[in-house]
Amino acid sequence: MNMVYKPTLPFYQATGRECDLFETAHDNGLPLLLKGPTGCGKTRFVEHMAARLGKPLYTVACHDDLSASDLIGRYLLKGGETVWVDGPLTRAVREGGICYLDEVVEARKDVTVVLHPLTDTRRTLMIDRTGEELVAPSGFMLVASYNPGYQNVLKRLKPSTRQRFLSISFDFPGAETEIAVVSSESRLEPGRVAPLVRLAGHIRNLSGMDLEEGVSTRLLIYAATLMAGGMGVDQALEAAVIEPLSDEPDVQQALRDLVATIYG
């Protein structure tokens, strides 16, 4: 959990009206849910919009052990005294900032109990330990994300939670947009990025291969960064695409064969 606040705009290439929707949601105090595959730009989008709006951003990477106390805060020993320390959600509410819960479905169930009063007309956060009931100011915004492709019976957002949020579906961008994004982030010229994006398109369209998900834009940026630094294509793709996507030798070899086809 950390605060990320950047006065300059992180690069983000819009693919539709998502920026307008985010601003409208923010201006009207509405929570927003981002849905899409890993590495397609959800987190960068939130960082971009927070900087664009001039708002402090508290990002929380949700996990199995994340509890409501991790978000709200707890008493800690400091200098021999017990003091209350706000969690990232509480700080965002107090400051009128943006709290972004990445992969919110991974968090423990008690987290949704805390979120519900912040996602309806009450816009309140109850801190039982201190007896406070904070009313979120107009600038506060709650944003969450999750990957629908990884949902299962045990880990999924309940309809009662999903229907408290506006929602945007994200996907990997079109080829031209993805080339622009990867080139901007890696400083690799677009002509050398184009085959990477073409390779990604083939991998994402593969069927019958043991891949939970296609190659992300993030991994393409990693590969392009290695190439921009002077690494050979085969070595860069081995480290940034093939190894991260699978541990299975047969799958890895199939990916190498596909690389050879694209770069042959």
Domain extents in the chain? 2-169, 175-263
pLDDT, average across residues 62-86: 92
pLDDT, average across residues 89-111: 95
- The tokens 């990025």 sit on which residue? 193
Least confident stretch, 42-51, 88-97, 150-159, 235-244:
150-159
CATH of domain 2-169: 3.40.50.300
> Is 30's pLDDT higher than 90?
yes
The pTM of this model reads 0.87
Predicted confidence at residue 215, as pLDDT, reads: 92
Give just the sign of the alpha carbon dihedral 62, 122, 46, 41: positive
> Is 207's pLDDT higher than 80?
no
Confidence category of residue 6, pLDDT binned at 50, 70, 90: very low
Q: Are 85 and 70 in contact, with CB atoms under 8 Å apart?
A: no
Between the alpha carbon of residue 99 and those of residues 33, 78, 118, 146, 168, the distances in Å are: 12, 26, 11, 15, 17
Crossing angle of the two packed helices 217-228 and 190-204, in degrees rounded to 10 = 140
> Is 7's pLDDT higher than 70?
no
* 30 CB-contact burial (10 Å; exposed 0-12 / middle 13-18 / buried 19+): middle
Sheet containing 57-61, strands listed edge to edge, beginning at the edge strand earlier in sequence? 2-4, 57-61, 98-102, 141-146, 32-35, 166-169
Predicted confidence at residue 208, as pLDDT, reads: 57
How far apart are the C-alpha atoms of 164 and 236, rounded to whole Å? 43
pLDDT, average across residues 52-79: 94
Predicted confidence at residue 264, as pLDDT, reads: 79
- As a whole number, the mean pLDDT across the chain is 91
